[in-house]
Amino acid sequence: AQSVAQPEDQVNVAEGNPLTVKCTYSVSGNPYLFWYVQYPNRGLQFLLKYITGDNLVKGSYGFEAEFNKSQTSFHLKKPSALVSDSALYFCAVRDSGSGNTPLVFGKGTRLSVIA
Amino acid sequence: DAGVIQSPRHEVTEMGQEVTLRCKPISGHNSLFWYRQTMMRGLELLIYFNNNVPIDDSGMPEDRFSAKMPNASFSTLKIQPSEPRDSAVYFCASSLEGLGGLGYTFGSGTRLTVV
């Protein structure tokens, strides 16, 4: 079975400080990992993904994520947070060998960047 | 491409009424997903289709919910009769499955309020 955990419901960070939103996953094979962002009254938007290759993945809006196989983690990071980064962030996973089974989404982490 | 298009954006209806939500996926995508988002339960997968065929509807909460995909460019989610606990934001997403590593494109959602 596939699962993903976002251990923090809420993350608060001061503008200009680095931010981290945590995600851990469980799959039986190799994972495909995704981060999505949801702004108020909007649908989820794709940020970045890890399929294979470099463990450090760069995405939209200056975000990046590091795939750590030994810790089964895919934490989202940004060196310097902006107030406009305040949103709901979702991690998602799929087992690469699972065919067309749907992505499994975490419960989301609300990021609040304070000016 | 205009992305995944959902209508209506907002729907307010009285308990007991039939509600139909609509979705137009991205042209060329062969998979379509219906999600429901609430504060309490987060993002829940209701049903998904591959090549217009329903694959898994185990997330549909009750028989009051039904979904169809008569062709590759249109899907509906119907609730009959509606109840106040159905109030939520309903998202449609589409993807090009079969390649595993592709993510989903979400619509902007339909905010349903049942009074």
Residue-wise pLDDT tens for chain B (115 aa)? 679 999 999 999 999 999 999 999 999 999 999 999 998 888 999 999 999 999 999 999 889 999 999 999 999 999 999 999 999 999 999 998 765 567 899 999 999 999 9
The predicted structure's pLDDT at residue B100: 57
CA B25, B31, B36, B39 dihedral sign is negative
- A-facing residues of B in 72-101 (CB < 8 A) are 91, 93, 97-98, 100-101
The distance from CA A80 to its chain's CA centroid, rounded to whole angstroms, is: 17
The predicted structure's pLDDT at residue B98: 63
A32:B50 CB<8 A: no
Residue of chain B with shortest Cα separation from A104: B45
CA distance B6 to B9: 7
Choose among B31, B18, B29: nearest CA to B80.
B18
* Contact residues for A54 (Cβ-Cβ < 8 A; gap 6+): none
* Contact residues for A105 (Cβ-Cβ < 8 A; gap 6+): A4, A36, A90, A91, A92, B42, B43, B45
Report yes or no: A44 and A92 within 8 Å, Cβ to Cβ.
no
A49:B103 CB<8 A: yes
| pLDDT tens, position by position, A39-75 | 988 899 999 999 988 999 999 899 999 999 999 999 9
B34 in contact with A, Cβ within 8 Å: no
Number of H helices, E strands in chain B: 0, 11
Report yes or no: B61 and B85 within 8 Å, Cβ to Cβ.
no
CA distance B98 to B110: 28
B103:A108 CB<8 A: no
User: Of B42, B101, B103, which is closest to A108 when you measure between CB atoms?
Assistant: B42
Report yes or no: A19 and A78 within 8 Å, Cβ to Cβ.
yes
Q: Output b/e per residue, B17-54; b: 16+ Cβ within 10 A.
A: eebebbbbbbeebbbbbbbbbeeeebbebbbbbbebeb
Residue of chain A with shortest Cα separation from B40: A107
| DSSP-assigned beta bridge partners for residue B55 | none
Angle ∠(B6,B77,B58) on CA atoms, nearest 5: 125
Average pLDDT over residues A21-27: 97
User: Of B50, B93, B107, which is closest to A100 when you measure between CB atoms?
Assistant: B50
